[in-house]
Amino acid sequence: MVAPGGGRDHHGIVAMNAVRHRLVLSLCLLVPLAAAAGCAYDYPDPANRTPAEPGTPVPGLLGGTQAATPTPNPLVLEREVRNYQELDGLLKSVPGPVLLFQEGPLDGPARGFGTTEEVPAAGRYTVTAACIGGSNAKIFIRQENPKVTLWPVELTVDCPGATSQVITLQEGYVSAHLSLPGPADTPWTGAVGGVRVTG
């Protein structure tokens, strides 16, 4: 802007720059919104999908492919059922009220487990880990409490077998999970593992 007398009006330039900054900011916010408004998302509906042959790739969520779940081998299923029965015997041999209990496969497509439970009262608890059918299992226990940090307790079990350890827990939450160091495509053998916290 030109001030009377031919000079530049400093306040007019500052005001114009402020208007430009607001306009640029508004455009920066509106352009992504306008771009997202024109997007269409297509997620596959598993209920309307026709069954595929075992091992046939099926469309994934992002347009890729994922392997179909293989048909369970009846012999491995029988072995797994027997292994769970034996595992229950090992885990349930420790007396006391149960705070946390979790079991799961050590290998195959659905391997692993993890759970979290609330600890109602501070005290000493017995953690028992066991496995059947594999070579070994590592199970981690961790206390979640804003006041106290319990570093993860690692229990390594040689299969078949069980191990127990007494730990002190505070009120809050305790979690347990199976460590899975190997690749996700390990063959399914029916090996199982579990953890039980009593006290």
CATH classification at residue 80: 2.60.120.380
DSSP code of residue 186: P
DSSP symbols for 61-104: TTS-EEEPPPPPPHHHHHHHHHHHHHHHHHHTTS-S-EEEEEEE
Please give the distance of CA 43 from its chain centroid, rounded to a whole number.
22
CB 75: neighbour CB atoms within 10 A?
A: 9
8 A C-beta contact, residue 79 and residue 133: yes
Is residue 2 domain-resident? no
Do 147 and 111 lie in one domain? The reply is: yes
pLDDT in tens, the chain (199 residues): 544 555 444 444 444 444 444 544 444 444 444 444 443 333 333 333 344 443 433 343 334 444 455 677 899 999 999 999 999 999 999 889 999 999 999 988 788 899 999 999 999 999 999 999 988 899 999 987 667 666 789 999 999 999 999 999 988 899 999 987 666 677 889 999 999 999 9
Identify the domain containing residue 19 by its residue range: 10-67
C-alpha to C-alpha distance for 50 and 43, rounded to whole angstroms: 15
Give the amino acid at 149: T
Q: Given 30, 49, 67, which residue is the final one in a domain?
A: 67
**What is the token pair recorded at 184?**
């996700």
The model scores a pTM over 0.95: no
CA angle 89/93/96 to nearest 5° reads 135
For the chain, what is the domain count?
Answer: 2
Partners of residue 118 on adjacent β-strands: 173
**What is the token pair recorded at 192?**
């199982």
**What is the token pair recorded at 62?**
């992002």
Do 194 and 179 lie in one domain? The reply is: yes
Do 28 and 90 lie in one domain? The reply is: no
Do 126 and 159 lie in one domain? The reply is: yes
Do 35 and 80 lie in one domain? The reply is: no
